[in-house]
Structure 1
Amino acid sequence: MDFINPETLKTIQSIWHQVEIFFHSLILPSRLWQLAIILVCFGIAHLGRIWLAPKVDDWARNRELSPRQLRSAIIFRKRLRGVIFILLAWSAVFVLSELSPFYSRRFIVVLAATLVTAWLVVGMLARLIHNDLLRRIVTWGVWIYVALYYLGFADEAAGLLDTAAITIGDFRLSALAVLKAMVLTALLVSGARAVTRRATARIRANTDISPSMSELVIKVMQVLFYGAALFVGLKSVGFDLTGLAVLSGAIGVGLGFGLQKVVSNLVSGVIILLDKSIKPGDVISIGDTFGWINSLGARYVSVVTRDGKEYLIPNEDLITGQVVNWSHSDEFVRIDLTFGTSYHDDPHKVRELAINAAQSVSRVLRSRPAVCHITGFGESSVDYVLRFWIEDPVEGLTNVRGAVYLALWDAFHANGISIPFPQREVRVLGGSTSDATASGENPQAGS
């Protein structure tokens, strides 16, 4: 035991002595009766949960509950055994207090009821923390502290954890400080998360703020709140962050050369938010990707296409490359369709039919008139271009083109307008057959 600090050894011996006293006190006749009462309460609570859980499920199924009410019902069902035990244990405490004025006759039952009640309250309040890891850290940390506090071992356990420490120069890091930092930081981060979520919902619901500015404000707010939570959580338990700042600066210089692309994407993301070149909901095309902006991230932009694919495009590509924003200044998009008709058809009638066909499609705007022009005289047809406008490119371009082409087909078919296709004639020049026969080849055989 020479490797153990004498102060630590003394603390362990003190805790062990108190544990021995506590367990020896449990074998007293009055304490055995109380333990029996606790076991009976637990058994009844377990059977009660088995009996009541299906009834709670039936009650929830037979009612139209909101998601929050349904979540509350599920949480209550999971903690049903604890709730029943608490009711039975405190009822037993009340009966024992009426039977005997001595507190020692009900001490163990009071202790068990208090512990379970505190654990249940902590578990319910921890549901406010949405992150699973943070919730578990806070829940288990507070549960252990509550148990040690009511059992009378809190000061000794804190002293034991404080003696388990490492010292580097003037810096001392103990297990107690680490645990306090973990629990407190988890609580502060959870609070920051709750505040930012509520503020984010309000900012995005405000129509006076542009989407790109909303995303910028949200990102800055998240960085400030989460950074402040980490700083306050570490500083409040005695961590000296001066050395950490120097170390992070040195590491930052080393990593900067290897993370140039990452930093470039981060800076590009800030520029995109500031200049409002693209924003969530815009319809863009970059390279072969056509879709609408789903979200703006710190490193990439999420673009969702019509076929359900989600492309994560680095922010740097949107800054340095050519991007077509179909809805940058407004939602209006002009679409051009080309087609041809026979030389025997009246071009004036063709143009009129084409314009009427385009305007018969529901997505084509009436406020911006469609036009049709002759673009040239082709080899087998008179060539036209039909131009019309839409204001919902997010709904797709190929489908509206197909709808207009179908309307053109119906209109031309109903009015006798023909759509020609190229025809070719093959002529066999004189002497080619005799040449093939003279060379010994079969003129009917395929090549």
Structure 2
Amino acid sequence: MDFANTDMLNTLASIWSQVEIFFRSMVLPSRLWQFAIIAGCFALAHLGRIWLAPKVDEWGRQRELSSRQLRTLILFRQRLRGILFIIFAWGSVITLDAVKGFYSWRFLVVLAATLVTAWLIVGLVARLIRNGFLRAIVRWGAWIWVTLYYLGLWDETVKILDGAAVEFGGFRITAYALLKAMVLTTILLSIARIVSGQTSARIRTNEDISPSMSELVIKVMQVLLYGAALFIGIKAVGFDLTGLAVLSGAIGVGLGFGLQKVVSNLVSGVIILMDKSIKPGDVISLGETFGWINSLGARYVSVVTRDGKEYLIPNEDLITGQVVNWSHSNEFVRIDLHFGTSYHDDPHRVRKLAVEAAQSVGRVLKDRPTVCHITGFGDSSVDYILRFWITDPVEGLTNVRGAVYLALWDAFHENGITIPFPQREVRVLEGSQLAVQPDRENPPQEN
């Protein structure tokens, strides 16, 4: 430990000596002129931004831009000062190279132009990372690395970070290794996310792959990509993962008991994707929930109902419960309606009118037979069942039932068919006596 502290002190002393030499060289006349050139380039860039920014805004308002083009324009406007500084700085470097005797005046100008160019490129590349926190870590880490690299301080910084270490028996982890692992893993995870997003979009738009199979392929691909990114990122910095095998096994056993439901839902989700029992777009009924499947997740299935509610149903419930899939093998759905008519109405005529009324509704299929049968003789009506077919259960079942009932009502009303309702008639038989309660307030008067 003393040897490591001595190396760190020597490294800090070397860095301080370089900083002293750098600042002493800054007071030379040639360096002061270079500072003036850099300041002039910055002033021109600032004035150029003030002049160009309104013109860029006006140009964007006069055109119908897509969301992607609009984001690009906004990004260009936000970095307009840096872009102009890069143009002016590199233009100054080219001018100093061309003018005889001023070649030695270009060192600081080249350094400033290089740093600003690298900062701009890092900022643009970091925008590919969607997560704001990870994007900020990568952006600031890359900016610091670029600055130290071009200032010639990176090797000394690495020595300092290597000196800061924590040891556990034979396992030694340094600050530099930890930082390297974080940056590399973040970059690999970001690349995996971009590749996964692009590939998922192409798989979902491929009509040759069924929706359930496409979701299964996407889930497996995401697990492989993210797992490989995490493994490569940790392995690339020299971490020995074999030492963590026992610890990870103990943690796995503990998580297995505590996360049984989560694991069950994950396994159920894989089973659902493999057996293709349900898929996005299917219309299902589960208990009181009726709607169509919006998406299949790793833990739950999103079901959207007709009233706009979105239910997140655990995958385990779809495996263990009784699910009605209205569009599993095909989209044909048969609907049964029950009604009754009076006994004095001709049943042959009632059946014909019922079939014609159902066929008059637009959503009822004409190429599949609509039938009407007598199901029994009730207490006050002849009972019928009307059966018809539709192919769009996603549009709702209650509304088509209501439309057919309304068509039946109109048809029966026009043709004198009556729909009976229970009636009760009380008859007093001759010779019977009714017990009359005495009126206490008005008692009978004696004659």
1:371 is the counterpart of 2:371: yes
Map of 1:315-354 to 2, 5 A cutoff? 315-354=315-354
How far the C-alpha of 1:353 sits from its partner, in A, is 1.8
Structure 1 residue 88 displacement after superposition: 1.4
2:310 corresponds to? 310
The structural deviation recorded for 1:26 is 2.2
Structure 1 residues 27, 404: CA separation in 2 closer, same or farther (over 3 Å shift)? farther
Pair 219,441 (structure 1): closer, same or farther in 2 beyond 3 Å: farther
How many angstroms apart in 1 are the aligned matches of 2:118 and 2:368?
69
Range with greater deviation from structure 2 (242-251 or 77-86): 242-251
Q: Secondary structure at the match of 1:385?
A: strand
Q: How far is the alpha carbon of 1:209 from its aligned partner?
A: 2.2
1:154 maps to a residue whose letter is W
CA deviations 1:237-256 (Å, max 9, x no partner) are: 11111122331111111221
Q: 1:382 to 1:159 in 2, by over 3 A?
A: same
Offset of 1:4 from its aligned partner?
8.5
Alignment partners' CA distance in 1, 2:20 and 2:405? 90
**Structure 1 residue 428: deviation in Å?**
7.5
| Aligned 1:45-56 pairs, distance under 5 A | 45-56=45-56
Residue of structure 2 in register with 1:213 after alignment: 213
Amino acid at match of 2:67: P
Query: CA distance change for structure 1 residues 437 and 4 in 2, over 3 Å: closer, same or farther?
Result: farther
**Aligned 8 A contact 2:60 2:73 in 1:** yes
* Offset of residue 45 of structure 1: 1.9
Partner residue of 2:127? 127
1:193, CA displacement in angstroms?
1.6
3-state SS of paired residue (2:63): coil
- What is the CA–CA distance in structure 2 between the aligned matches of 1:442 and 1:204, rounded to whole Å? 87
Deviations 1:200-255 (A, max 9, x none): 22222222322222211111111111101111111111111112233111111122
Contact 2:374 2:383 in 1 (8 A): yes
Deviations 1:399-424 (A, max 9, x none): 11112122222222333333333333
Name the structure 2 match of 1:301: 301
Deviations for 1:96-126, whole angstroms, at most 9, x for unmatched residues? 3333544431211111111111111122222
C-alpha distance in 2 between matches for 1:109 and 1:396: 70
Pick closer, same or farther for the CA change 1:110–1:339 going to 2, 3 Å.
same
Identity %: 75
Match of 1:199 in 2: 199
| Farther-moved stretch of structure 1 (226-235 vs 42-51) | 42-51
Cα offset for 1:74?
1.7
The count of residues paired between Structure 1 and Structure 2 equals 440
1:5-404 matches, within 5 Å, as 5-404=5-404
- Specify the SS of the correspondent of 2:295: strand
1:361-386 CA distance string (max 9 Å, x none): 22111121111112223333322211
Letter in 2 for 1:204: R
Instruction: Between 112-121 and 162-171, report the one with greater CA deviation.
Output: 162-171
8 Å contact from structure 1 (residues 279, 296) kept in 2: yes
8 Å contact from structure 2 (residues 31, 105) kept in 1: yes
Distance 1:175 1:219 in 2: 35
Could you tell me which amino acid in structure 2 is paired with residue 377 of structure 1? F
Equivalent-residue separation in structure 1 for 2:82 and 2:433 (angstroms): 106
Measured at CA, do residues 432 and 35 of structure 1 come closer, stay the same or move farther in structure 2, by a change above 3 Å? farther
Q: Distance in 1 between matches of 2:125 and 2:226?
A: 21
For structure 1, which segment, 395-404 or 339-348, has the greater mean C-alpha deviation from structure 2 after superposition? Answer: 339-348
User: Closer, same or farther in 2 for the Cα pair 1:25/1:370, shift >3 Å?
Assistant: same
Q: 1:187 & 1:308 partners in 2: Cα distance?
A: 39
Give the conservation status (yes or no) of the 8 Å contact 1:89–1:113. Answer: yes
Change (3 A) 1:92 1:373: same
**Structure 1 residues 397 and 170: CA distance shift in structure 2, 3 A:** same
TM-score, normalised by the number of residues in structure 2: 0.92
The alignment partner of 2:258 has SS state of: coil
CA distance in 2, matches of 1:442, 1:81: 105
Q: Which runs of 5+ in 2 are unaligned?
A: none
1: CA distance between counterparts of 2:179 and 2:59? 42
Contact 2:4–2:163 under 8 Å retained in 1: no
Q: Deviations over 1:48-73 (max 9, x none)?
A: 22332232222222222233222211
Note if contact 2:96-2:102 (Cα within 8 Å) is conserved in structure 1.
no
Shift of 1:442: 8.5
Most deviating of 166-175 and 198-207: 198-207
In the TM superposition, what is the alpha-carbon distance from 1:299 to its structure 2 partner?
Answer: 1.4
Moved more, 29-38 or 396-405: 29-38
CA contact (8 A) 2:292 2:305 kept: yes
CA shift in 2, pair 1:427/1:247, >3 Å: same
1:387 CA drift (Å): 0.8
Tell me the secondary structure at the aligned position of residue 437 of structure 1.
Answer: coil
4+ residue runs over 4 A deviation: 426-433
Note the alpha carbon deviations across 1:78-111, whole angstroms, 9 max, x for none. 1111111111111222223333544431211111
